[in-house]
Amino acid sequence: MAYTHLHRDLSLWMKEDRSSEARFTTMIDLYRLPGDFPGIDQCRTHQDPFAKVKILEAEFESDFNDHRLIPYIQLHEFEALLFSDPDAFSSTFPENHSAIAELKRIRRAFASPEHINDGAETAPSKQICRHLPDYAKTSYGMLIAKSIGLGTMRSECAHFDAWIATLLGLSAG
């Protein structure tokens, strides 16, 4: 998807509810972000994934210039969150002990699940599918995420936690 399509769709949704109290957020994967995304060229000079998403989210927010938008870019993709607790895969794939052991080994090789990189063969989803070929995001991803729980994901993924904290803070204000 090109950024222009995302911008158009999000703009239309934001026009549907012009209330100053309405909020809009995103959950966009950093992995394979479109080349026309605001800030994409600036972030390429950084190795640190947290620096990259900080630039991208700031440029995205600036492009809309609307206080109601809370941009969020997932490091590197949704499946990174599933690496918060690789043991949770056993609830869906109970007979795949060696594959789950490999997912645990991958997780231990990185500072956090959000550091598991975005290479064509090393993105979190690619690594899961290499070891669990039957994995499908739409059918198994949510089941595994539910098994892991939001608390574990938040404790393992700092950028994700900051986004959730921002959203929860809206209800307190």
Q: Is 7 in the same domain as 70? A: yes
Distance (Å, rounded) from C-alpha 68 to C-alpha 169? 14
Q: Is 111 in the same domain as 70? A: no
Percent of residues in the chain assigned helix, strand, coil, to nearest 5: 60, 5, 35
Q: Amino acid identity, residue 90?
A: S
CB 145 within 8 A of CB 81: yes
Q: Is 32 in the same domain as 48? A: yes
Residue 167 lies in a domain: no
Q: Is 122 in the same domain as 60? A: no
Q: Is 92 in the same domain as 52? A: no
Q: Is 87 in the same domain as 51? A: no
Residue 49 lies in a domain: yes
Domain end marker among 46, 74, 102: 74
Residue range 104-133, pLDDT digits in tens: 999 999 999 999 987 888 899 999 999 999
What does each C-alpha distance from 45 to 28, 91, 124, 158, 164 come to in angstroms?
20, 40, 22, 22, 27
Domain end marker among 31, 59, 74: 74
Q: Is 66 in the same domain as 91? A: no
DSSP H or E segment with residue 28: strand 28-29
Q: Is 50 in the same domain as 104? A: no
Q: Is 88 in the same domain as 110? A: yes
Residue 160 lies in a domain: no
Q: Is 96 in the same domain as 145? A: yes
Residue range 124-172, pLDDT digits in tens: 999 999 999 999 989 999 999 999 999 999 999 999 999 999 999 998 6
Residue range 18-38, pLDDT digits in tens: 998 999 999 999 988 899 999
CB 82 within 8 A of CB 89: yes
CB 25 within 8 A of CB 72: yes
pTM for this prediction:
0.93
Mean of the per-residue pLDDT values for the chain?
94
Enclosing domain of residue 48: 3-74
Q: Count how many domains the chain has.
A: 2
Residue 170 lies in a domain: no
Confidence tier at 173 by pLDDT (50, 70, 90): low
